[in-house]
Amino acid sequence: MTVRTRFAALALACAAIAPVASAQSPCPSRLFVSGYFSTVHVFDACNGAYLRDLDARTRLRGAQAVRLGPDRRIHVVAEGTGTIHRYRNDTLAWDGVFATTPAGAGPTAIDFDGAGRAWVAAFNTDSVRRYDTDGRFIDVPLPPSVVINGPDNGMRFAAGSLWIPAFYANSLVRHDPATGATSVAILPQAAGLIRTRGILPTADATGLFVTAEGSGKLLRHEVATGTTVQIGGAFGAPTGIAYAPDGMLLVVDAGAVVRVHPVSGEKLGTLVPAGAGGVDGPTFIAVVPIPDVPEGTAEAVEYHHAGLDHYFLSLIPGEIAALDAGTLPGWTRTGLTFRGWAVPGPGTSPVCRFYLPPAAGNSHFFSADPAECARLRDAHPDFVPEGEPFHIALPDPVTGACPAATAPVYRFWNARAGDTNHRYTTSLQVAREMTSLGHVAEGYGPGPDFPIMCEVR
């Protein structure tokens, strides 16, 4: 297959329709629109206002499915690079690569089963791969098959099954993870299903909405009876589909995102005009609730100094401003962050910060363990205490488990005598990179990935 053949219909022009009037109160959700020829673009899900690009095209080339994972991170499939990236849902900051598929696999879709494992559709190999909660490859539960010819980005779990849009087979495939049985739920071209794309469970969980890009139809499939009918009129190459915050459908229609009544299929107006925010070739849309950020929390921003090969953290606004302004030369943001408490919070521990003088590494050290802070203070009187810049939860000292509503933060030591430096990260990819570089993991629990702190979620 060629990219141009598969996405040629996305070049259709559409008439401009005035956007829906702005909402009077803050929207609880953001709309993510994947542009295959651009990147992932973020909009207000209520009024369609363009907010920002999620990331550069260099990282999200061939943007496809966007899913909120069980780890509360946003996972984005980049077909062009064969990678799946993670982003924080609160700040939208990049949080590393979740998984990398084999060369030529052409990943399009991702969804998560009840155990939190990721199922990834490989378009070019007509298969579905499975990854563990940390992004490590497990197996190929659906090996290459003409039955799922061209598994596309709408693949998702619903009604106890995995539903796979078979783009080139012009069908909808159903897979039962419990038994391993795979069947064709909508036969090729039945009800006008041509070039299967998006899948969305109905609000009553009895059926599925399915978009047929090749025939311009929006279909409703009933799971119990197996019947499939068209709803509404003609669409222009429909691809992505999602629920708006008010319960109406959002459907990509000739490059625009339109509001659609979920019963009649009637178009209710355009939310995002074609090309808004630079979207080019929209393939997938997702509406993701914005998480509540607990009052009193703040971001710990990570910096790197290339000349020293040192990492540094800060939650202090004045210090962050100075670093960003270059007042302290050489430090640049890595793009990674995690969230702690700027003030004492329930179940948190104060984080001590020490400056290690040049003879010990010209570096900084952080710990949320009062006992460790005390030992360090007694053993190294030359280390300069710099107060308690933030507060954070601690993991269980035996199991390494983080408390509810928190997530692991890992600490790594560079193991360089006289040039000591530590890195703190929530990214498992970064954790693996540090291990591969010979850095020593320091934390609680049996490992290999054991946390030293637990960030706020």
Identify whether 188 is preceded by a cis peptide bond (ω within 30 of 0).
no
**pLDDT confidence of residue 6:** 54
Distance CA 249, CA 115 (A): 28
Q: Which residue has the tokens 């199922």?
A: 119
Q: Which residue has the tokens 């890595």?
A: 334
The average pLDDT across 185-204 equals 97
Q: How confident is the model at residue 102 (pLDDT cuts 50, 70, 90)?
A: very high
Distance CA 101, CA 290 (A): 29
Q: Which residue has the tokens 């971001």?
A: 299
Inform me whether the pLDDT recorded for 217 exceeds 70.
Answer: yes
Q: Which residue has the tokens 């209520």?
A: 46
364-396 per-position pLDDT tens digit:
999 999 999 999 999 999 999 999 999 999 999
The average pLDDT across 243-255 equals 97
Nearest in space to 212 (alpha carbons), one of 244, 182, 236: 236
Inform me whether the pLDDT recorded for 205 exceeds 50.
Answer: yes
The average pLDDT across 59-71 equals 96
Inform me whether the pLDDT recorded for 14 exceeds 50.
Answer: no
Q: Which domains does the chain have, with CATH numbers?
A: 3-289 (2.120.10.30), 297-456 (no CATH)
Q: How confident is the model at residue 155 (pLDDT cuts 50, 70, 90)?
A: very high
Distance CA 209, CA 207 (A): 7
Strand partners, 50: 43
Inform me whether the pLDDT recorded for 408 exceeds 60.
Answer: yes
Question: 294: Cβ–Cβ under 8 A, 6 or more apart, which residues?
Answer: 341, 345, 456
Distance CA 305, CA 303 (A): 7
Tokens representing 24 are 């009077």
288-313 per-position pLDDT tens digit:
999 887 788 888 999 999 999 999 99
Strand partners, 196: 212
Length in residues, the chain: 457
Q: What is the DSSP letter of 291?
A: P
The average pLDDT across 269-296 equals 94
